[in-house]
Structure 1
Amino acid sequence: METVYDWVTVLGFAGLVTLFLQRSSLENPPDTIWHYLPPAIGAAVCNYLGNEGMDIPAIAVGIATIAYVFIVLKPRIRA
């Protein structure tokens, strides 16, 4: 855990796991485990690119990953 990318992607993975566990306990889950694969891969790619010094592509992949989560997985944000 040396870079900002390491911390951000660990937080992203933790959020994905929490969302998956919360939804998998429902009687009729709105999504399957396969829906979580693209954002998990996106977080890993973002981390790799960021650690290799490619900041702009890493940020672009990170934003695309976050967009996928909000568009496809649609987490409810409590205010």
Structure 2
Amino acid sequence: METVYDWVSVLGFAGLVTLFLQRSSLEEPPDTIWHYLPPSIGAAACNYFGNEGQHAIAIGIGIATIAYVFLVLKPKLKA
């Protein structure tokens, strides 16, 4: 846990796990475990490229990962 990318990746994984556990307890879950694979890989790739010093690629992957979560998984944010 040395870089910002490490922290962001851990927070992203924690958010994905929380969303998955919350939804998997529903009678009819709106998604399957396979829907969580792309953002998990995205968080890992963002961390890898960020730690390798390729910040533009890491930020692009991070933005794409966040977009996927909001467009495909559609978490409900409470105000």
TM-score range for the pair, normalised by the shorter chain length: over 0.9
Which residue identity lines up with residue 78 of structure 2 in the other structure? Answer: R
For residues 78 and 60 of structure 2, the distance between their equivalents in structure 1, rounded to whole angstroms, comes to 27
Aligned to 2:67: 67
Identical-residue share of aligned pairs (%): 81
Which residue identity lines up with residue 78 of structure 1 in the other structure? Answer: K
Structure-2-length-normalised TM-score: 1.00
1:27 paired to 2:17: no
Give the secondary structure class of the aligned counterpart of 2:13: helix
**Structure 2: unaligned runs, 5 residues or longer:** none
For residues 51 and 27 of structure 1, the distance between their equivalents in structure 2, rounded to whole angstroms, comes to 40
Moved over 4 A (4+): none
Structure-1-length-normalised TM-score: 1.00
**Structure 1: unaligned runs, 5 residues or longer:** none
Aligned to 1:45: 45
